[in-house]
Structure 1
Amino acid sequence: MAYCHERGKKLYVTLNNLQTAEELEEIDDYLRFLSEIRPDAVILQDLGLLRRIRELGLKLDIHVSTMLNTHNAPTLALLARHGVTRVVLSKDIALKDVHRLRTETAATGIELEYFVHGDTCIAHHGSCAQSGVVLGASSNKGRCYKSCRWDYELVDGATGKRVASFNDGPYVLAHNDLCLLSHIPEVVRAGIATLKIEGRMRPAEYVAPIVAVYRRAVDRYAEDPSGYLFNIEDLRSTVEDRVRDLTTGSAFHQVRLESVGSSGEREPKIFSKPVKEKRLDFDDILTGSFERCFTVETILRNPSSPRFSVHVGDMASALAAMTAGADAIFIGGTVSLARAIPWSLEQIKRCIAEGRRRGVKVFVATPSYLLWRELEECREMVRALADSPPDGWLLPDMGAISLMREEGRGALIGDFSLNVMNRSAAEFLAGEGLELVALSPELSFRQATEAAHGSSVKTEVLVHGAVAGMRLDHCLIAALAGNRTSDDVCPAPCRGRGYGLRDGAGEVHSIEPDQYCRNTLLIGADLCVLPFVRSFAAAGFASLRYEAQYDPPEHVGKVVDLYRRAIDDPSFALDRDGWESLCASAPRPLNL
């Protein structure tokens, strides 16, 4: 730090990993050390860490990492209120949306930082669980094994047969490197305070020339905007010295086929290989192979029975879940166009009324990614439901939390995308009005119980259903099957037909396209803890969740009935016939 300050440079310390409860307990001394040496700022992702710094009364300037996936004005305003001075925006935001954010949040004084060059993930930051869940190396903890760089082929979701596609190779998720060197005026005029160059895991001899050409470009534009032209020699040298091919990413348009290095020719290193996911079979249940994974000291002796909640994708599934014994239903929000159509206001009102008649709570989800369009639609929906409000709202990010605190009625529930891994993060969100917080699916059973134990905040865990491996800001189906993006006139190949990506190990990852032309890529196997759900019921979680929005109604009813019986009846034992029937109706294999 002294070396930097002697040369008039600023130094920021990255703490942008999510912390488990155990890790958070060990970090106080390090935070105090940082407060003593006073770096120019620390960069955080974990809301629990933000809360901990304030609790300790430390004098640290706080920036928020791109891993928090910030993309709307209400989130920026909330962070500013908690003392954050700068936010590194999501890499998926177009420059026109950055300019809008700058205008809407100017009064807060918060600064915006934006990536202009380097390695770029194809998934929303903070929303990629593929490496963490399948390989045990979480991107939210800085250990990503880059499953986006695996080889894949597009397949029919029903038959598994290969589908002809426009890509020129199998690396269809391997995003090229970002380069905005020829667009410095647009970057500056968007209101960005700091340009960020990705340089980690890059040698100094590669990073230094890139920093130099951007420094020259920014200075030249500041000196004479009207006479500015980018230096063609600087651009040529940058292109010649590139690792991967270069793209402008999402700065001006949706990710296109040419934004991805699908041939793999310039991919510098493949960090991992696809693996076949372990299947849970009945012999595992009989032999108790996994019992030790679900035994921890924090299990309560006399727990109250947890609520069983179900997130559904259509009205038929909502009714099936209610009939089978669900305590709460989540509806609305983002839906898969391969399986359903967006919830209409009439359907939402009908479901709320049906829930009240049956004594089942009904919560409405907001879309999983909220730019200005989605925020406006949420405001309109709240007003339209004023006479028949739901029991509450399922919220994916802090912008949605801010919006519903101001305009919504009912309980506020934090969804899995908030990436809560510790009690401090849950209590931060409780301070923002949440009464229930879903814990990250990347946590083990032991880690989840540690996060929930002793907390004043009610917590929820995922026990069954689809797990989102990656969330993408563009449509893979349109790109691969139609050579289109949502910016084009798209023939909508996603409607009514299922697609998947099959990796090199043979696992099929279902592609779920939504009404906003974004995609969710599922992990190959669904989570199923049915044989061990009594341990979850005894661990003190307030709610157990079944993610059923990609499941058919008849399967939803079967799953809810089995979990209802297992939770309520201590003597319940799943026999082989029951297990095989469950597996036969499941749309995807089952796993832990």
Structure 2
Amino acid sequence: MELLAPAGNRDALHAAIENGADAVYLGGKNFSARQSAENFSDEDIARALEYARSRNRKIYVAVNTLIDDEEFGPALDYAWNLHMMDIDALIVQDLGFMDALHQVIPAMKVHASTQMTIHNSEGVHFLEKQGIKRVVMSREMQMEDIQAVKQTAQNIELEVFVHGALCFSYSGQCLFSSMVGGRSGNRGRCAQPCRLPYDLYSISSAQRISTPDKGRYLLSPSDLCLIEYLPELKAIGVDSLKIEGRMKRAEYVAVVTRAYREVLDMLQEEPFYRPANKVRDKLLKIFNRNFTSGHFIFDRSSFLSSKRPNNRGVYVGRVVAQDKDYGTTVKLNDSVSLGDGLEIWVNKGKNPTFVVNNMKIRGLAAEHAQPGDTVEFRLDKRVSPQDRIFKTHDEELISEALLSMKGAEEQRIRVDIKAVLEEGQPLKLILTDEKGHQIEEISNNKARRAENQPLNESILKSKIDRMGNTPYYLGDFEFQSDADLILPFSEINETRRRAVQSLKRLSLNLDPKGIQEEETFRRNRAKFIPLTKKGRSIIKPELTITVSGIDQAYAAIKTGADIVYFDLAGIGQKKRISIEELEGLKQYSARYLCQVIPALPRIQKPGEASAWLGLKAAGFNTIMAGNIGALNWSLNNGINSRVDYSFNVFNSYSLRFLVQQGVERACVSPELNYNCLKNIRGLNLGEVIVHGELILMTSQYCMLQGVLGDATDRCQGFCHQDRYAIKDDLGYSFPIETDTYCRFYVFNSRTLCMIDDLDKIIALRPGGLRIEARHAQEREVEMVVRNYRRAIDDILNGSKKDLQSYRSEIEKTTPSPFTRGHYYRGVI
């Protein structure tokens, strides 16, 4: 199994490779899902590649954000530059960009990011058909899920996260940071609202639900650690083990990579090897929010770090006493040394933190203290007896990590060079590296007799030895000449430069891209980029609505919806709708010239799709897919397909790609602003969301059970006992729901409403105007659909009716204030 480590900067790259990573993933200055990391310039990436290849390691570059139309050309040019460097793979999220790479740079190896939310075999098979070589699976996959996918996906690699931070939401399905603060996780700018404190409220009573023993960080997961489960991952046949952490320090990368490398090496000798506790202890010391096995081996009790959203360190002891001068006595449970960083958890106020610059044992100065010792510190803040103490910085561990990286740049490759200079002949350089790779290079000009100062061995060697910015250093130098000859220094330098480049391509296995291949790229790019022009005539858009309940569906049908998407996940419902009930809806809708389309859940783990295999036999010839796997299933079964906004259609190329696959209608991303929507070509085959409470998070973890339940894993049905919301410290209230698969959803605190700007949106010529009503009640659905129906008809008929009046009508039944979403602000 490949060990894949993160690098947010050059130090982290060195840390990863020097501590045993087989490959490193990193991001450039743009189009990377970790825009807050230092990241790598083009020159940095070229140097990183040389450094990695000299050690037989790989470099993958993440271009794993959504890309808008104006960025698409530059992003494709950037990918070509990376291809010219001969990077080992590109990691992508955007469907249109994936298609572009397949069509324009077919030789490039492409990996599908976890941002694509791939969590079933059908999704893997779809991407395999698009030329994807590896899929980074969703972190919500259980061991049995990964096993099921691997059994049917033998010709494509699977990559699995094994360590680091977890997202509360499925990656690629989180709009929380985007909608609340305009910082899109899909654009690499996540502000991590999941790490903020929230209170749980009952909607029916409007009362706060007290959970004092659970803490307030209700959406903050613990850190993933699967170091004890590497035998299981190996048995499944996982191809790559991924460590999260492009935002982490180099020392973190060093410690974590080394720990996993050592265990993987031991697995070669002992197939069922489990690491000793000291290995896990090192991982805890470098950074942890508590450790969890995540969803791989699910343990509800350890999943959330609800009392603390950041590094908690490791417990080292308790305060015994403190005198009036802040002299503090502590009883240790773990070792402490000078230079360590400690934090004391107090009951009130901010926790004191300090670096151990001095300490005493029995009144004598000490550099190290062991478990069981009673030590004395001098603090500058008040603490109390029994306050717990945690070590958040382990100086010894950090020093070891730094030592492992020391001299990384100096580990260069020895090259022996022979120079042959003969009159009337070009200079010949013969380079041989320490691995036996050999090349010859000759100068463009020929040597001639010197009139004054001929080239001697010392002068020529000084020119040849200028390899400071290369992976090489000069070893033996041999000079062979038959006369006093001269050659311009510029010619010598140019010959040396070409020789080193040739040796690099050979020894570092770099594949040079010639002029012919560049011409092919330019030709393919020119063919791919142009889009059909937008039509000028206004079309009548469908009025579509997505609901989760059968009463809401009937309400939408009779008040004027053209299309009712019925979400089969059953968000907020006590039971799943049956196919027979769907058939009843279909028959009822025919009387109103309305079409009912089943909406397959955005999450369908292995084995869950079987419940809906009878849809086609029941006469449903069209579905709306919520995930890539559902789309693949529908296309393979001859069912017409639409796709939901969970597909993150952010540009014209993604829309075009989906239409080319056979999709008849795609809901574009709600993160697009009005100007971006104006740039979308083919919007007549798309839908735009104009109203409703958007899903901000889709989670496999039920927070209600985790916070309100007992220690057992038995579901106590809290979602059926009340309706809930979480409220942040600014007073914003976010409704929460579960579905019939026990998945968890966070909805926006504001209701999108664009009815008073509907004329502008219709002018964009979308094929559909979408109302999101998965969380809405029946009366609200009736009011919203009726007024949007009237507004659309008024606009198309040229009526002068004030659209603001419709907005005022809708406000009467809407439970939350209105927002215009991203229409006039967009995301960064």
2:91 to 15, 24, 43: 43
Partner of 2:198: 152
Partner of 1:235: 280
Partner of 1:378: 612
The superposition leaves residues 388-416 of structure 1 with CA deviations (integer Å, 9 ceiling, x where unpaired) of 4135101011110111112253x310111
Query: In 1, distance between residues paired with 2:711 and 2:802?
Result: 47
Counterpart check, 1:31 vs 2:260:
no
Partner of 1:114: 160
Equivalent residue of 2:771, what SS? strand
TM superposition shift of 1:357: 2.5
TM superposition shift of 1:104: 1.7
Structure 1: gaps spanning 5 or more residues: 269-297
Say if 1:323 and 1:265 are closer, same or farther in 2 by CA, change over 3 A. closer
Query: In 2, distance between residues paired with 1:211 and 1:220?
Result: 14
- For 1:538, the aligned partner's letter is A
The superposition leaves residues 419-438 of structure 1 with CA deviations (integer Å, 9 ceiling, x where unpaired) of 11011111221222101111
Partner of 2:404: none
Counterpart check, 1:531 vs 2:531:
no
Query: In 2, distance between residues paired with 1:181 and 1:489?
Result: 27
| C-alpha contact (below 8 Å) 1:472/1:519 kept by paired residues | yes
Query: In 2, distance between residues paired with 1:241 and 1:50?
Result: 36
| C-alpha contact (below 8 Å) 1:130/1:147 kept by paired residues | yes
The superposition leaves residues 331-350 of structure 1 with CA deviations (integer Å, 9 ceiling, x where unpaired) of 1411223x553212221001
Partner of 2:705: 478
Counterpart check, 1:398 vs 2:628:
yes
Equivalent residue of 1:329, what SS? strand
Query: In 2, distance between residues paired with 1:312 and 1:265?
Result: 34
Partner of 2:189: 143
The superposition leaves residues 262-297 of structure 1 with CA deviations (integer Å, 9 ceiling, x where unpaired) of 1127448xxxxxxxxxxxxxxxxxxxxxxxxxxxxx
The two structures have a TM-score, normalised by structure 1, of 0.89
Query: In 2, distance between residues paired with 1:360 and 1:266?
Result: 51
Query: In 2, distance between residues paired with 1:53 and 1:309?
Result: 33
The superposition leaves residues 39-98 of structure 1 with CA deviations (integer Å, 9 ceiling, x where unpaired) of 000001111111111232342101111111110001111111111111111011112211
TM superposition shift of 1:198: 1.1
Query: In 1, distance between residues paired with 2:666 and 2:624?
Result: 10
Query: In 2, distance between residues paired with 1:461 and 1:201?
Result: 34
Equivalent residue of 1:115, what SS? strand
The superposition leaves residues 424-480 of structure 1 with CA deviations (integer Å, 9 ceiling, x where unpaired) of 1112212221011110111112212322x2x38701110001111111101111112
| C-alpha contact (below 8 Å) 1:299/1:539 kept by paired residues | no
TM superposition shift of 1:578: 5.1
Partner of 1:174: 220
TM superposition shift of 1:16: 0.4
Identify the structure with the greater strand proportion. 2
1:433 to 639, 659, 662: 662
Aligned length: 550
TM superposition shift of 1:317: 1.8
- For 2:283, the aligned partner's letter is T
- For 2:691, the aligned partner's letter is H
Counterpart check, 1:201 vs 2:247:
yes
Partner of 1:290: none
The superposition leaves residues 314-360 of structure 1 with CA deviations (integer Å, 9 ceiling, x where unpaired) of 222222212221111111411223x5532122210011111222211
Equivalent residue of 2:307, what SS? coil
Partner of 1:52: 100
The superposition leaves residues 474-522 of structure 1 with CA deviations (integer Å, 9 ceiling, x where unpaired) of 111111222367xx32221111520111111111111111000101100
The correspondence of residues 56-455 of structure 1 with structure 2, limited to 5 A, is: 56-106=104-154, 109-165=155-211, 167-226=213-272, 228-253=273-298, 256-264=300-308, 266-267=310-311, 301-337=536-572, 339=573, 341-379=575-613, 381-382=614-615, 385-386=616-617, 388-409=618-639, 411-451=640-680, 453=681, 455=682
Partner of 2:719: 494
- In terms of mean alpha carbon deviation, does 423-432 or 531-540 score higher? 423-432
Partner of 2:350: none
- In terms of mean alpha carbon deviation, does 522-531 or 164-173 score higher? 164-173
Partner of 1:279: none
Structure 2: gaps spanning 5 or more residues: 1-48, 313-532, 821-828
| C-alpha contact (below 8 Å) 2:91/2:113 kept by paired residues | yes
| C-alpha contact (below 8 Å) 1:167/1:480 kept by paired residues | no
The two structures have a TM-score, normalised by structure 2, of 0.64
Query: In 2, distance between residues paired with 1:577 and 1:483?
Result: 50
Partner of 1:276: none
Partner of 2:776: 551
Equivalent residue of 1:363, what SS? strand
- For 1:101, the aligned partner's letter is V
Partner of 1:510: 735
Partner of 2:35: none
Equivalent residue of 2:591, what SS? helix
* Bigger radius of gyration among the two: 2
Query: In 2, distance between residues paired with 1:406 and 1:328?
Result: 24
Query: In 2, distance between residues paired with 1:204 and 1:153?
Result: 35
Give the RMSD, CA atoms, in angstroms: 2.1
| C-alpha contact (below 8 Å) 1:176/1:246 kept by paired residues | yes
Query: In 2, distance between residues paired with 1:444 and 1:139?
Result: 16
| C-alpha contact (below 8 Å) 1:184/1:218 kept by paired residues | yes
Query: In 2, distance between residues paired with 1:484 and 1:389?
Result: 45
- For 1:318, the aligned partner's letter is A
Query: In 1, distance between residues paired with 2:159 and 2:239?
Result: 6
Equivalent residue of 2:714, what SS? coil
Query: In 2, distance between residues paired with 1:219 and 1:248?
Result: 21
The superposition leaves residues 102-126 of structure 1 with CA deviations (integer Å, 9 ceiling, x where unpaired) of 11212xx101111111111111000
Query: In 2, distance between residues paired with 1:266 and 1:330?
Result: 40
Greater relative contact order structure (CA < 8 Å, 6+ sep) = 1
| C-alpha contact (below 8 Å) 2:794/2:801 kept by paired residues | no
2:62 to 14, 17, 21: 14
Query: In 2, distance between residues paired with 1:395 and 1:176?
Result: 31
The superposition leaves residues 216-256 of structure 1 with CA deviations (integer Å, 9 ceiling, x where unpaired) of 10111122215x231332222222222422211111115x2
Say if 1:154 and 1:408 are closer, same or farther in 2 by CA, change over 3 A. farther
| C-alpha contact (below 8 Å) 1:74/1:398 kept by paired residues | yes
TM superposition shift of 1:576: 6.8
Partner of 1:275: none
Query: In 2, distance between residues paired with 1:140 and 1:229?
Result: 37
Say if 1:131 and 1:308 are closer, same or farther in 2 by CA, change over 3 A. same
TM superposition shift of 1:175: 1.1
Counterpart check, 1:585 vs 2:813:
yes
TM superposition shift of 1:588: 2.4
Query: In 2, distance between residues paired with 1:265 and 1:135?
Result: 19
Identify the structure with the greater helix proportion. 1
Query: In 2, distance between residues paired with 1:344 and 1:176?
Result: 37
Query: In 2, distance between residues paired with 1:377 and 1:448?
Result: 36
| C-alpha contact (below 8 Å) 1:362/1:391 kept by paired residues | no
Query: In 2, distance between residues paired with 1:39 and 1:60?
Result: 9
Query: In 2, distance between residues paired with 1:590 and 1:50?
Result: 36
Query: In 2, distance between residues paired with 1:28 and 1:578?
Result: 44
